[in-house]
A and B are shown apart, each in its own frame.
Chain A
Amino acid sequence: MTPRVFRRWSILHTWTSLICTLFLLIICITGLPLVFRDEIGDWLSDSLPYAMSAENAPTVRLDTLTAVARQRYPGQIITSVFVDDDEPQVLIGMAPSWERYNADPGTGHALKFDAHTGAVLRDMGAPAQSGIGFLQLMLRLHVDLFAGLTGNLFLGVMGLSFVLAMISGLVLYAPFMKRLTFGTIRTGREKGRLAWLDLHNLSGVVLAVWMGVVGLTGVMNELSTPLFALWQRSDVQAMLRPWQGQPAVSPSELMSAEAAFHAAQAAVPDRLVVSAVFPGSRFGTPYHYFMWSKGRAPLTGRLFTPILVDARTGKVSAVVAMPWYLRALEVSRPLHFGDYGGTPLKILWVLFDLVTIVVLVTGLVLWFRKRSRRRLSSGTLSRAVSADPDDTLEPIGLPHTTREATR
């Protein structure tokens, strides 16, 4: 690597890192509790426990549960029904009206039912009224900095900057390590700077692949809102053309959610129907129950396929093919969350996250030190040399002076 090429990669590494470091630190720190968000959520939850029931005990009819929900909140609308296949719970989403819910989904709230007994286990208030919980706070800081789509896109760009910093860091790793055995950390009082550098290089290189994967899948996740919007505007709208101009389904015409689940399940016997978005939602269509189904195997269980059930007739209108970009998004989720390999994998995720924080902090320390040294020695050295000839932070193997390089 010539000094010129090295300088260019070095500048790229410095700036792509500086741009994103602060935000990456926020993302890493808020990501720590999010790895265990299910466990923390259960722990913080004020939900009543499930009744002791045999695993294959019969479940309560969905129509009974929707009736209970309507009774509890007369005048409100049901926005969605979610039947969990992991825990014996059914969640029924509600909102004051479609107008308010579609304008701000934060006005929605949910009831958690025991699937076996039909008892209400928890009445989850609307986030707009009940304030923000700890996990919600962490999630918003992690995902959009309370700035909605703008925040998503901004953090997505920060993620890309992080990936660029990592790639340039890998390129710079070679010249720095030319004469060092892998994993060397030069300690000692005079070698303080070198210890920071060695620690930065070591922690960066051992985790490069993980940081790349989690960085890129994180960027993918930040794009989920625009990607879903794009799909709804293109594919879903195209599918809704035959219904265009029809009046929206009125509550009296609405067939039961239970029947919609049965119809959808019959259409995709090899998949599991898990939820229904009611007609009128901005996340669905005005004329259908928008049903989500997923595969039954562990991996296909992460791939969701929607089914449109006509809310007036109860007939399945379409099993919607998902475009490649949403499939990619679905596959990228577990790889970002680390929630697919039991508790040990989650612990590893936390440790990796901590090592990433070490990479960020040591990088910052190196930059501050280099800056203060530059300030001390500014004006005395030529720019081509970039630092004093004894500067041990320069990569090994590169000629120290331009004269040496051209000799």
Chain B
Amino acid sequence: MIPAFSTIAGRAPVSIWPWPITLGLLTVFGLLSALLGQHGIWLALSWIALSMPLIVTVVCLIRAWSRSSSKGGPS
């Protein structure tokens, strides 16, 4: 019988899709709210929603960079 690969690895699998799906939905919302709303609050919401993927990316980069520098070089 095949053991679960996660047990081979000795760690529980993490859920993969919540973040990508959330960011994808935010992108869809951002694209449509500016297109259909066109002004006022809808535009602002669009800018905020569409900024999320970029903000998340930047946060991940900063975390990776600070982790590698706090370890004092290669791990």
B9 touches A397 (CB 8 A): yes
Q: Would you give the shortest CB distance from A182 to chain B, in whole angstroms?
A: 4
Q: Mark B30-56, 1 if CB is under 8 A from A, else 0.
A: 010011101100010011001101101
Q: Interface size bucket, A side?
A: 35 or more
Main secondary structure of the interface of B (DSSP, over half): helix
Q: Mark A173-185, 1 if CB is under 8 A from B, else 0.
A: 1100111111111
B57 touches A203 (CB 8 A): yes
B27 touches A341 (CB 8 A): no
B34 touches A345 (CB 8 A): yes
Nearest-CB residue, chain B, relative to A298: B38
B61 touches A185 (CB 8 A): yes
Q: Mark B59-75, 1 if CB is under 8 A from A, else 0.
A: 11101110110010111
Give the number of A-B contacts (CB < 8 Å).
Answer: 120
Q: Would you give the shortest CB distance from A183 to chain B, in whole angstroms?
A: 4
Cα distance, A206 to B27, chains bound together (Å): 9
Nearest-CB residue, chain B, relative to A335: B31
Which residues of B lie under 8 Å from residue A334 when comparing CB positions?
A: 35
Q: Please tell me which one of the listed residues B13, B18, B34, B68 contacts residue A397 in the complex, with CB atoms under 8 A apart.
A: B13
Q: How many residues of B contact A (CB 8 A)?
A: 43
B35 touches A189 (CB 8 A): no
Cα distance, A186 to B74, chains bound together (Å): 10
B35 touches A178 (CB 8 A): no
Q: Would you give the shortest CB distance from A344 to chain B, in whole angstroms?
A: 5
A183 touches B67 (CB 8 A): no
Given contacts A179-B11, A344-B47, contact A210 B6 (CB under 8 A): no
Q: Would you give the shortest CB distance from A185 to chain B, in whole angstroms?
A: 4
Given contacts A348-B47, A396-B9, contact A206 B68 (CB under 8 A): no
Cα distance, A298 to B18, chains bound together (Å): 34
Q: Please tell me which one of the listed residues A178, A184, A191, A352 contacts residue B75 in the complex, with CB atoms under 8 A apart.
A: A191
Could you give 17 example pairs across A and B, Cβ below 8 Å? A179-B13, A183-B56, A185-B63, A189-B73, A189-B74, A202-B57, A206-B20, A207-B27, A209-B23, A210-B27, A213-B27, A213-B31, A335-B35, A340-B34, A345-B50, A397-B13, A398-B5
